[in-house]
């Protein structure tokens, strides 16, 4: 008989063990999101660049990232980075580099998503605003920082929330290269009990993920509301 019983107390104790390690998962998420936004902005510029070579490079990059499974990209970055580093002549593989490999991988994944998000946001901003700004003498930089970015970020917020929850979920593969995030610690806990309490530990993990994702959604929903406070009737930002 190989049937195990489900122990609710064990779920609570697993949750208590795992919760302190949510920090690592959140750190990976935030760093990857920040990196993804920056790279995504750059990618959006390349995509819409006048030079056909630059936009071709950006499109190939997006193509590759569209078909890349997170776990495969992670393995490639993890094993490829030390080679890249030794070519430049710095560093060896350590735990920090593991974390760095994870963050870099998911920043790359996020950048492709963000490029699509920003492209959509770019299309949603009325062109007459940019033309008006140009007509009154705004430089390219001013148009970007004072017209495009504030509205683009607001329009991108709902998709940013999606990207954030997606990153948190995809980030769960980080444990496969030995990063001790939530999943990594769950695996440690199970193996320290010789495979005991696996179902309970995974249940606790599922609950933690569920709560974290709801938290991200609530947070972004609040941000969206704050960002659109000025959009009262009659004072719309959409021009006339």
Partner 1 sequence: MAANAFVTTIREIIPGLPLTLVLTAVPLVLALVPGVLLGYLRSRGRLAYYLTGAYVTLFRSLPVVLQILFAYSWLPSLLAGLAAARGWTVDVFAISPVWYAIAVLFFNTLAALIEVYRSAFSAVPAREVEAARAAGFAESRVFIQVRLPQAFMFALPNLASATVNLVRMSALAYLMTVPEMTGRARMAAGLTFDTITAYGVLLLAYVALCFLIDSAYDLIYGRFMRRLHGTAGVRGLT
Query: Two tokens at 180?
Result: 């001790």
CA distance 1 to 210: 33
C-alpha dihedral sign at 76, 163, 34, 17: negative
In the complex with partner 1, which residue's Cβ is closer, 124 or 140? 124
Contact predicate 151/74, CB 8 Å: no
In the complex with partner 1, which residue's Cβ is closer, 6 or 51? 6
Least separation, in Å, of the C-beta of 127 and partner 1?
A: 23
CA distance 173 to 122: 32
Q: 163 CB contacts (<8 Å, ≥6 apart)? A: 33, 36, 110, 113, 114, 117
In the complex with partner 1, which residue's Cβ is closer, 133 or 208? 208
In the complex with partner 1, which residue's Cβ is closer, 80 or 238? 80
Least separation, in Å, of the C-beta of 70 and partner 1?
A: 7
End-to-end CA distance of the chain: 73
Q: What CA–CA distances, in Å, run from 23 to 16, 20, 28?
A: 14, 7, 9
Per the document, the length of the chain is 240
Least separation, in Å, of the C-beta of 65 and partner 1?
A: 9
In the complex with partner 1, which residue's Cβ is closer, 70 or 133? 70
Least separation, in Å, of the C-beta of 162 and partner 1?
A: 10
Residues that bind partner 1 (CB under 8 A): 1-4, 63-64, 66-73, 75-76, 79-80, 83, 165, 168-173, 175-176, 183, 198-199, 202, 205-206, 209-210, 213-214
Least separation, in Å, of the C-beta of 77 and partner 1?
A: 9
């Amino acid at each position: 008989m190989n049937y195990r019983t489900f122990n609710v107390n064990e779920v609570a104790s697993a949750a208590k063990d795992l919760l302190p390690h949510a920090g690592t998962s959140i750190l990976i998420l935030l760093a990857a999101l920040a990196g993804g936004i920056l790279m995504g902005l750059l990618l959006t510029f390349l995509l819409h660049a006048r030079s056909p070579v630059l936009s071709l490079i950006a499109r190939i990059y997006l193509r590759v990232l569209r078909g890349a499974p997170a776990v495969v990209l992670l393995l490639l970055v993890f094993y490829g980075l030390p080679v890249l580093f030794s070519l430049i002549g710095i560093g060896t593989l350590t735990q920090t580099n593991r974390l760095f490999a994870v963050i870099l991988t998911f920043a790359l994944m996020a950048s492709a998503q963000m490029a699509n998000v920003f492209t959509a946001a770019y299309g949603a901003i009325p062109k007459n605003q940019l033309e008006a700004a140009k007509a009154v003498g705004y430089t390219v930089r001013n148009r970007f920082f004072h017209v495009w970015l504030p509205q683009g970020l607001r329009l991108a917020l709902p998709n940013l929330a999606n990207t954030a929850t997606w990153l948190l979920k995809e980030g769960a593969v980080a444990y496969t290269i030995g990063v001790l995030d939530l999943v990594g610690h769950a695996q440690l806990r199970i193996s320290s009990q010789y495979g005991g309490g696996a179902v309970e530990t995974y249940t606790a993990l599922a609950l933690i993920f569920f709560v974290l994702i709801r938290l991200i959604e609530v947070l972004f929903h609040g941000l969206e509301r704050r960002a659109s406070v000025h959009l009262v009737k009659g004072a719309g930002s959409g021009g006339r």
